[in-house]
Structure 1
Amino acid sequence: MEADRSEARAFIAALVREEAPSLPGTPALAVPEGSVAEVTAVARRLALYVLPAGRPGPEPAPELLELAAALVVDEHPSAPRWSAAERRRLAHWVAVLIEHRGEDGVQDLVRELNRG
């Protein structure tokens, strides 16, 4: 199990190092526009729910922060209106969610944002 996690983290880190440029066009995250406060509140709630009991604080792996920013935060249709600090805060909670739920966590976030 731990070997699988380290392989997955190595793969993610390799993707992040590619530093692919953002492409123009429609954002890839299929959710309605919203304020960064609303989106962050949903991501935070979901992330805190999946944290293991007794964990001192939600500190995601640095490579997951970059992945969350690139594949989720920057792909939100409202992201161009958010500040860099707001994006970092949201990326933090999305990274915690990814760390503990993987793609299922992102799908949970998309589902909740579409309900909202």
Structure 2
Amino acid sequence: MDADEPEVRELVAALARAEAPELAGPPGLEVPEAAAEEVIEVARRLALRAVPDGRWRPGSAPGLLELAAALVVDEHPSAPGWSAAERERLATWVAALIEHRGEDGVQDLLRALNGG
């Protein structure tokens, strides 16, 4: 499926509105299982590099937190074992990555989690 197809755009919009149904199947991210704290630390380190100087704490545009949770956090193979607080913390850092680096930030995160 092409990212420019209407169905894809509709799915992303629904995810951002938290209306998309959960789909059965394997996790969407091909990364090794890991403790939440380990994944949070990697995302935090990358996000802090991406956040402009002088901003001590990242803040994200509306909707990015939900998008980060739906497309990245919830798709991690270890996510079902993490607490709600851990998932929320990770989503905050992933949202900052998306806001400041876009898809490149997500790809950086995946590479780092895969040991690259």
Same-fold status (TM-score > 0.5): yes
TM interval, shorter chain, is 0.7 to 0.9
User: Partners of 1:51 and 1:12 in 2: how far apart?
Assistant: 28
**Amino acid of the structure 2 residue aligned with 1:80:** P
After TM superposition, the score normalised by the length of structure 1 is 0.84
**Amino acid of the structure 1 residue aligned with 2:97:** L
Q: What secondary structure is seen at the aligned counterpart in 2 of 1:62?
A: coil
* Counterpart for residue 107 of structure 1: 107
Superposition deviation, residue 14 in structure 1:
3.5
* Counterpart for residue 29 of structure 1: 29
* Counterpart for residue 3 of structure 2: none
Q: What secondary structure is seen at the aligned counterpart in 2 of 1:97?
A: helix
Determine what percentage of the aligned residue pairs are the same residue. Answer: 69
User: Partners of 1:37 and 1:13 in 2: how far apart?
Assistant: 27
Within 5 A, what are the aligned runs for 1:69-84? Answer: 69-84=69-84
User: Partners of 2:33 and 2:25 in 1: how far apart?
Assistant: 15
Is the CA contact (8 Å cut-off) linking 2:18 and 2:66 kept in structure 1? no
User: Partners of 1:97 and 1:18 in 2: how far apart?
Assistant: 20
User: Partners of 1:90 and 1:63 in 2: how far apart?
Assistant: 15
Q: Which runs of 5+ in 2 are unaligned?
A: 1-9
* Aligned residue-pair number: 106
Is the CA contact (8 Å cut-off) linking 1:13 and 1:63 kept in structure 2? no
Is the CA contact (8 Å cut-off) linking 2:28 and 2:76 kept in structure 1? yes
User: Partners of 1:57 and 1:41 in 2: how far apart?
Assistant: 14
User: Partners of 1:12 and 1:53 in 2: how far apart?
Assistant: 34
Q: Which runs of 4+ in 1 moved over 6 A?
A: none
Q: Which runs of 5+ in 1 are unaligned?
A: 1-10
Superposition deviation, residue 13 in structure 1:
8.2
Q: What secondary structure is seen at the aligned counterpart in 2 of 1:115?
A: coil
User: Partners of 2:23 and 2:11 in 1: how far apart?
Assistant: 20
User: Partners of 2:11 and 2:55 in 1: how far apart?
Assistant: 23
* Counterpart for residue 42 of structure 2: 42
Superposition deviation, residue 105 in structure 1:
0.3
User: Partners of 2:12 and 2:54 in 1: how far apart?
Assistant: 27
Is the CA contact (8 Å cut-off) linking 1:12 and 1:67 kept in structure 2? no
